[in-house]
Each structure stands twice: as C-alpha cells, then as structure tokens.
Amino acid sequence: MKKIILLLAVVLIASCNTTQQTVIAAKKTLKGEWSLDEITYDRSGIFEVNLYNDAPAECFSGSVWKFIPNNNTGKYVVNQSSCASTGARNFRFTIPKPESNGDYSFLFKPINEKKKSTNNNAGYRMLLKHLDTTTMTWTMTVSLEGKPFVITMNFNKLQ
C-alpha cells in the first residue's frame, strides 16, 4: 500500500512539474511584441463588439501587444487613427494551470501605470488556442442573444 501511495505521489508531482514547465515555456514564447492582425467571429453578420470594455474590435486590428513574462505585465497600443481612443494601455496577465480537458487559458486584467487595477477590478479570460514562436490565437466566448458567440484573435510575432 505504501508503494502505491508513493507511486501516486511521484506521478502527481511529475504531472505538476510538466504543467508548470509548459506554462514557463509558453511565457518565454510569449515574451516580446505581437501584432493583433485579425479578429473574426464564429458566425457571419455585422456585430458591434467592444473588447475588454475599452474600444470597438475594429480599433484593435493592427494593435501592438508587448508581453513581459518576468513580472506578468504588458502593454498594448491601439493605433487606429479612425478610433476615438488611441494610445497605450497596461495589463497584467497569467496563464493558469490547464482546465480538466487540457485547454490553457490566458487571463488578462487592465491596470494603470502604477500597476493598480482599472475597470472596477474587471478581468478577462481567453482560451489560448495556439502559441508558437511566430503566431498566437486566442478565443473568447461571450453571450449573444442567449447563445455562445466566439471571438477569435490572431496575432503575429514582431520581435
């Protein structure tokens, strides 16, 4: 019985280390600047989508995102001249342990320059669908007319 418990403990520790190593590797890959090049929806139509309680989705197209993994912070710059609110915004992020189905999330929380929470302490969860050294994809599911509505954001690495 003691051998079985010891074996289970070793397996549990090894799986936790693997998960932690995966998150660390993802953060290293994430480090640097990314361009949000495409935002799509899971159905056709014209939708007024406001991302992160900040700006219309069209304003985020071409935005530049910088990730600093050693302190889990970053900055994105909305640079569409046709948008009312351009400029830099700060955020804090994390990639928690995977869900029971193995999916990884990306948690994002707006902060100010002093690293204090903004937007009434609001945060956002996206599914980290894909991440490699040159591309990244997030999906966010919201409700539209009582049904799931999936927003997909495709990034390309700049540096």
Q: What does the pLDDT read at residue 4? A: 45
Report which of residues 98 and 6 the model is more confident about.
Answer: 98
Compute φ and ψ for 24, nearest 5 degrees: -60, -45
Per DSSP bridges, beta strands 135-144 and 147-157 are: antiparallel
Confidence check: pLDDT of 1 > 60: no
Residue 48 has pLDDT above 60, yes or no: yes
Please give the pLDDT value at position 100. Answer: 84
Region 132-149: what's the mean pLDDT? 92
- What gap in Å lies between CA 15 and CA 21, rounded to an integer? 10
Strands (E), 22-146: 32-41, 50-51, 55-56, 63-68, 73-78, 87-94, 105-111, 124-131, 135-144
Question: What architecture is the 2-157 domain classified under in CATH?
Answer: Beta Barrel (2.40)
* 60: enclosing H helix or E strand: helix 57-60
Helix H or strand E encompassing 19 = helix 2-30
pLDDT mean over 54-69: 93
pLDDT band at residue 19, thresholds of 50, 70 and 90?
Answer: low
* pLDDT for the residue 14: 42
When pLDDT is cut at 50, 70 and 90, the band that residue 121 belongs to is: confident
Q: Give the phi and the psi of residue 109 in degrees, each rounded to 5.
A: -135, 120
Question: What pLDDT score does 39 carry?
Answer: 95
Q: What is the CA radius of gyration of the chain?
A: 18
Determine the pLDDT at residue 153. Answer: 96
pLDDT at 132 over 50: yes
Mean pLDDT, rounded, for 85-105 = 89
Contact (Cβ atoms closer than 8 angstroms) between residue 130 and residue 136: yes
What are the structural domain ranges in the chain? 2-157
Most confident residue range from 23-27, 92-96, 133-137: 133-137
Q: What pLDDT is recorded for position 18?
A: 58
